[in-house]
Each structure stands twice: as structure tokens, then as C-alpha cells.
Amino acid sequence: MILEVQNLHAYYGQSHILHGVDLDVGDGEIVSLLGRNGVGRSTACKAIVGLVSAQGAIKFRGKDIAGLRPDQVAHCGIGYVPEDRLVFSTLTVRQNLELGLKRAGKFGRWTFADVFALFPNLEARQEVSAGVLSGGEQQMLTMCRTLMGDPDLILIDEPTEGLAPKLVEQVGELLSEISRRGVAILLVEQKLAIALKISNRVYVMGHGRIVFQGRPADFGPDSAVRKEWLEV
């Protein structure tokens, strides 16, 4: 396994958010973390990348990374795409992508041509300031900038939130392409259709705990887990 998380606990002040979360991600896998809003999915991602202090074991390629700073976690080979689409608004699209490189001018599995091939509208606007992009374009840019750092594992939080159906489809294609290139993905996603379509395995969270793990085939319309933990 590229990522192994065991007995993970996390707090916001006095609020106990994660209650002993266990999960893992294999090399090249797409693993989705499902659940209703507020159950701790985003907190789990932030704890893994060092943005939230946590207790428990977090191992990346067998190395314990619990307690490392976010920049140290990134240099280990883990990328993180937050749900709030953080772009450098005064810099151009191309400059934002360049900032994703670990070393200036040194490319890994992803180049400008690769991300532009997936998202042609970014290529057309590569000299435009990122701050004037639409929300969907900013989401694409955030994902692509993270890829430019050539991570072996990428954590992606709600990439399709607020996107038009056509862009949702493009994001799904990008996630599948990332996996095909050998990059593992831990995906937090609210849209069941896309998560179940592209995932190898899924975890379901409820009240800060993993309440189910299985494969997409386990989540038919009549699934008891789906009705109890996912549907509104």
C-alpha cells in the first residue's frame, strides 16, 4: 500500500472530529471517501497532509509521516487539492502551473502539453490572470498545478463541487488519466455517480468513523449502506 492510515484521531479545539479512522490506498488506485457533509472527510485529508494536527499512524510507502509539516509531506510525494480552489489570482494560468513544479524547469510525468491536452480552455487562457477564470476553470487549474509537482499520491477534495455537467465529465476523465499514469488518488466526492464510476474501492464515513468499505458494485440503488449513510 502506498498510504496506510490507522486509528486516526483529529480535533478542532474541543471538538473531536475523527474517531479512529483506518484506511489505505494502493499504488495507482482510485479510492473514494464518501459520506454526507460534515462527517470528517475533508478533515481526514487535511490530517494526512499535515494541515490539521492528529493522533495515530500515517504511513506513506512504509514511512511514518504523522507530524510532518505540509511542505515536508509534499516533498515525500503527496499532492493535495483543497475544495476551495486556491489560485494565485494575480499570476497567469501558466505561472500558476509553473509554481507547481518542485524545481523550476524540471518536469515529471506531467508537462504543460499534458494538462493543456486534457483542458484545452486552460491552454487558450494560459496568459490570462487566474483571478478572472470561472470557478470551474480555477478548479481545473488547481488540480493541474498539483500534478505539475509529480506526486505519487494525490488527495482531491470535492473536485466537481459547483461544476457544470460537461466539466464534471472532464474532471472524471482527468482523474482516470491520473490513475492510468500510476498516480494513486484518494478522492472526496459528493457525486456518487462519478465516484462509483471511476473508483477501485470506496470507504464510507459517518460521525468521524469509517462505517463501510467495499467496491462500487456494493452500492446499487437498494444498498442499505447507501440509504443509511449517503442519501439525504
And the C-alpha cell for 147? 500534478
- What domains lie within the chain, and their CATH numbers? 3-230 (3.40.50.300)
Under 8 Å CB-to-CB from 199, ≥6 apart: which residues? Answer: 30, 31, 32, 187, 216
pLDDT value at position 14? 86
Q: Which of these ranges, 53-57, 135-139, 165-169, 219-223, has the smallest mean pLDDT?
A: 219-223
Q: What is the pLDDT of residues 65-75, one digit of tens each?
A: 999 999 999 99
| Dist. CA 98–CA 75, nearest whole Å | 16
Q: What is the pLDDT of residues 20-43, one digit of tens each?
A: 999 999 999 999 999 999 999 999
Q: Torsions phi, psi of 108, nearest 5?
A: -110, -125
Q: What is the mean pLDDT of the chain?
A: 91
